[in-house]
Amino acid sequence: MPNLPIRIAEPRVADNRGSVLSAAARFSLAAPAKINLFLHVTGRRDDGYHLLESLVVFAETGDRLVVEASEDLSLAVTGPFAAGLPDGGPDNLVLRAASALQHAGEIKTGAHIVLEKNLPVSSGIGGGSADAAAALRALSVLWSIDPAFSRLAGIGLSIGADVPVCLNGRPAMMTGVGETLRDAMAPPPCGVVLVNGGEGVSTPEVFAVRTASFTDNGDWQTPPTFDAFIEALTGRKNDLSDPAMSVSPVIGEVLAVLSETRHCALARVSGSGGTCFGLYPDIASADHASSAIKAAHPDWWCVATTFRDKVPMIVPA
């Protein structure tokens, strides 16, 4: 991923430095799941990178990072999906982000990072990107590096297209290859069910099999009520849905199961798959749907959640 200028309507990244953190040497930070409520492929650059238009929001569920001072840079992975993400691999986004920040800040010390992996790997909900973004934020505090959004996002974009939007941590319209962000109004309150059928999905493979034409950019304004919100989303789509299902057919089964649950107003793939989401008028409906899906498909990952209304804060661990 090339280094590109980061453009955002209000350049900022949440930072809660202060007396609470100044004496701490060990920090914890949530890395929430990213949900693409819609995703349009709007073009392709000469270098092969695709241009996107996507409405991105974040869920209350996600991974968690803990960082603490150390002589060397190291990573330990825990949690239910730790086995799918070996410690210290050269492609691990958390270590790549940490190493890039260490180099950019000319930091001579290291850090020990513990990643609690609660989200499926290669699942279209930004787990790796959210983890990398959390590492950049937490380590900038640990190492006393200026946490300006443009600086961190520039590093993040060199690691992955979704890292800048995960750094931003707010509902946003993401365009370009991920470098252009515009704040979006938060969705109205609703329940969300996330379901993954257990197959990791390769984003490059999904793009490689996509043959449809490009979608024109639109003008999105988030409606204030649930019914109007669903109606507006229905007029959008995920251009990667069909190619994702051709790569991983279980996605089609997951969408069908979600769609059949009571009160599900919309079921869609997030990102390039394989996690799908269902939207419900309230969390009680989402809880009921999640319980039904877990009972029928105990081998699937399924969780009921809500959209986050605040950016995760760094706290002493």
Backbone angles phi, psi at 164, to 5 degrees: -60, -45
d(CA 167, CA 188): 22
3-state secondary structure of 194: strand
User: Residue 262: in which H helix or E strand, if any?
Assistant: none
Q: Where are the alpha helices (DSSP H) in 47-126?
A: 93-104
Residues facing 20 on adjacent strands: none
Concerning whether 63 is annotated as a catalytic residue, the answer is: no
The 3-state DSSP class for residue 43 equals strand
Largest CA distance in the chain: 55
Number of Cα atoms under 13 Å in the Cβ half of residue 187: 30
Nearest CA-CA partner of 155 in 143, 170, 140, 144: 140
Residue whose entry in the numeric block shows the structure tokens 């993040």: 156
Catalytic residue among 15, 63, 131, 162: 162
- The residue annotated as part of the active site, out of 15, 34, 117, 242, is 34
Identify whether 287 is a catalytic site residue: no
Do 168 and 222 meet the contact criterion of CB atoms below 8 Å apart? no
Angstrom distance (rounded) from CA 284 to CA 282: 5
Question: For residue 266, what are the contacts with CB-CB under 8 A and spacing of at least 6?
Answer: 230, 233, 234, 278, 279
Q: Which residues are catalytic?
A: 34, 162
